[in-house]
Amino acid sequence: MDDKLYCNWQQTRLGRSVFIILMLTISILSSNARAQSRTEIILKKGWKFFQGKNEKGYEKDLDDAGWQNVTVPHDWAINGPFDKEIDKQTVAITQNGEKVAREKTGRTGALPYIGEGWYRKRFRIPNANAKKTVLLQFDGAMSEPQVYLNGELVGKWNYGYNCFFIDISDRIIPGQENTLAVHISNRPRSSRWYPGAGLFRNVHLVVKEPSSIEQWGVTVTTPVANLKLGKVNIKTRFAGSGMRLITEILDRTGKKVAIDTTTKSYGNEFEQAFPITNPNLWSPENPYLYTAVSKLYLAGRLTDEVRTQFGIRDIHYSAAAGFQLNGVSRKFKGVCLHHDLGPLGTAVNTAALRRQLMILKDLGCNSIRSSHNMPSPEQVELCDELGFMFLAESFDEWAKPKVANGYHLFFDSDAEKDVVNLVKAFRNHPSIVMWSAGNEVPDQFGAEGVKRAKWLQDIFHREDPTRPVTVGMDQVKATMQSGFGALLDVPGLNYRVHLYEEAYKAFPQGFILGSETASTVSSRGVYKFPVEKAKDKKYDDMQCSSYDLEYCSWSNLPDDDFVLQDDKPWVIGEFVWTGFDYLGEPTPYDERWPSRSSYFGLCDLAGIPKDRYYLYRSRWNTESATIHMLPHWNWKGREGQVTPVFVYTSYDRGELFINGKSMGIRKKSKSSPLERYRLMWMDVKYEPGTVKFVAMDSLGHKVAEKSMVTAEKPYQIRLEPDRKVIHADGQDISYITAYLVDRKGNVCPTASNTLNFQVEGKGAFQAVCNGDATSLEPFQKPEMKLFSGKLVFLVKSLEEAGNINIKVTSKGIKSATVQLRSEKFTR
């Protein structure tokens, strides 16, 4: 198979039962196109890629036999190698409070994203489509893509994170082979993190009638949303005249719950209203989705059909009630996420995104901020489906630069059209409850910045009057003085917990959002002594302590934010920096090699939760109890030395035992932020054996317990797949956690053995990651050292169903096997 043929443009690609997916080759398209009012092909396979400058006219149909065969989405830089000379910078990072320029390595991941690349694909459309409208849509291309068809430039865009489409109807040659070529150019010093490189999001070919619904032409709003009534308004923009529109509303099961027919348009737009009695309201707890089926007719003939998923929900922000969803006040329990997927790089993969969100769901997280870039359609669709409120961010720069070749180069010419595309492409998603016009932009100072903030906010309001706009502000004093913060719908504070009270009094909105919080740093499974609160602490091994007491100069500990969230009703929530570690920004080691990825995540780069994950879980997850003890209990050589024990738990008190001896009862107390949210035994002395925590109720009765033991030497490998059955589509992935146990089955938390991976059958080894920010081992090689006793490797399906047999070995250790099953799913 060459590509997937999708009927109906705006229908989700996440495999819901109401959506029919036809798996066809492009050649089959020619025999079926006459029956389709609209077809969409996602151009995944059959691409050729070459990295280098345009010295031979690569936009033309020249010999590309020596080019690399790739599938799209594709990130050309993730294969490495890591190199400190890549994008090495001598700079003072002003937003981090730095005054003196110093050499920075690893700031953008130390991966070779800089340079030029060419993608080429050949395809045909049938002669029957000679009079059709043909569009190319790019969900994102990093960066500055220039698009050529048959050697002629047909369109270009600058912002790599934005969706855009090009009408190629006049340039395509039906019945003949057409050559699509895309030129990508990534400048040095163009990002503050790893941006990836290439066609890292999907490319679509859309074929439709000239009399049809415009691209992104359906707008769904729900101005009334309560348990008794949902009012659904739908505006449909179209091309043509004398048209008739029939719109049906389907529930989750495909049952028709409303229908309306109209021939009355306002210019080239139809407007319809649908009453839905006793609707299912969308929320994180009940992410219920409806589908609008829009059918456009001309003289009785169906000319277009578009399916749009949406949710019925109401959002409201006020000084009196804070943020309300469906009439109920609630707080954002959110995380910030960069767009890379760890060892996969930036190439979008639905299985990887779903895994991230399921890990966050167990955390009790209810919201995502796409930091600091526009999201992918797949990420937002998953948030609709799984139930996450979404803050869709746009820019990290406006007119004033943070990096030499950043978005400021394009702000004046492109900002409006970039915002327009963001809103049009994503406005029907119920998960999106807020837009962000920017993050920590240097324009926060002065009158010009105020004007830019208002200009951008007005564009968002014009395109979408239903959602508010925020900006992540770090220069809070300046924004209080200039009026910048006062004009925003939602004042977002990045850190600056000491200014919350002052900002609340100064800003007229009556509430504050923690748009970015904490910036606590830690390395999974690494603990430093003595245990003490520290700012910008550095160690020779370039790791950070997982006692979760170390943070950056501009930030604070999580507990300080917890106090504000719990005690101040006018603080409407927070977005923690970050949910997962990401490539680049290796603070506090950005001046030391070989550190090349972040330490901020609640989960490491492999997606394995750190200790801090459970600190947040103990507050956020109200459905399932949390008991998590740290550190591990393998400390040969520390016998008799003070080794504090922390417990992150949803219970408010408990007793700690070391080898059966009580270390005393601790109860959470408001005497200090740390004692309010952590149970801490600071004077415990290490001795090998068993550590046990007994949780108690208010009367001192045991309600739960958990133990950990000192492990003996490693004996055997253990494997834990996140899924044992995956889809045989060539894209699905199973994430398998590997770790070592001793003869008694106890986890060995300090193991650093090298593991080797063998995959046979209907799957293939894809990548591996151990979460170590200093590791220079390639993600694509089927071997890697364990870090703090664990790693995760990825197995990708083929396009044939069958068994996938996996074996993992390590010298001197008993091997392990696991079998997965790849199946063809009917979606």
Give the active site residues.
440, 516
Of 774, 717, 776, the C-alpha closest to 741 is: 717
Across the beta sheet with 653-658, what order do the strands follow?
A: 661-667, 653-658, 690-696, 702-709
Q: How far apart are CA 70 and CA 111, in angstroms?
A: 19
What backbone phi and psi angles, to 5 degrees, belong to 363? -65, -25
- Could you tell me if 107 and 87 are in contact, meaning their C-beta atoms sit under 8 angstroms apart? yes
Q: How far apart are CA 645 and CA 658, in angstroms?
A: 10
Q: How far apart are CA 586 and CA 53, in angstroms?
A: 30
- Could you tell me if 127 and 180 are in contact, meaning their C-beta atoms sit under 8 angstroms apart? no
**Three-state secondary-structure class, residue 613:** helix
Of 246, 194, 204, 541, the C-alpha closest to 372 is: 194
- Could you tell me if 470 and 435 are in contact, meaning their C-beta atoms sit under 8 angstroms apart? yes
- Could you tell me if 253 and 280 are in contact, meaning their C-beta atoms sit under 8 angstroms apart? no
Q: Please, how many CA atoms are within 13 Å of residue 488, restricted to the half-sphere of its CB?
A: 33
* Both structure tokens of 534: 């520290």
Cβ neighbors of 591 (< 8 A, separation 6 or more) are 102, 103, 104, 105
* Both structure tokens of 504: 């609340």
- Could you tell me if 431 and 378 are in contact, meaning their C-beta atoms sit under 8 angstroms apart? no
Query: How far, CA to CA in Å, does 154 sit from each of 120, 170, 821?
Result: 14, 10, 44
* Both structure tokens of 36: 């389709």
- Could you tell me if 742 and 712 are in contact, meaning their C-beta atoms sit under 8 angstroms apart? yes
* Both structure tokens of 236: 């449909």
Cβ-count burial of 701 within 10 angstroms (0-12 exposed, 13-18 middle, 19+ buried)? exposed
Q: How far apart are CA 293 and CA 426, in angstroms?
A: 17
Q: How far apart are CA 201 and CA 142, in angstroms?
A: 9
∠ Cα 120 123 126 (to 5°): 160
Q: How far apart are CA 428 and CA 102, in angstroms?
A: 45
Q: Where are the beta strands (DSSP E) in 200-300?
A: 203-208, 213-225, 229-238, 243-250, 256-262, 265-266, 269-277, 290-298
Classify residue 375 by its DSSP letter. Answer: P
The β-bridge relationship of strands 679-681 and 328-329 is: unpaired
Which single residue is written with the structure tokens 């929320």? 283
Cβ-count burial of 639 within 10 angstroms (0-12 exposed, 13-18 middle, 19+ buried)? exposed
Q: How far apart are CA 149 and CA 155, in angstroms?
A: 9
DSSP states along 622-650:
-SS--EEEES-S--TT-TTSB--EEEEES
Helix orientation angle between 411-426 and 446-463, rounded to the nearest 10 degrees:
30
- Could you tell me if 750 and 789 are in contact, meaning their C-beta atoms sit under 8 angstroms apart? yes
The β-bridge relationship of strands 733-741 and 716-721 is: antiparallel
Of 178, 140, 143, 192, the C-alpha closest to 162 is: 140
**Three-state secondary-structure class, residue 825:** coil
**Three-state secondary-structure class, residue 502:** helix
- Cis before 749? omega within 30: no
What amino acid occupies position 643?
T
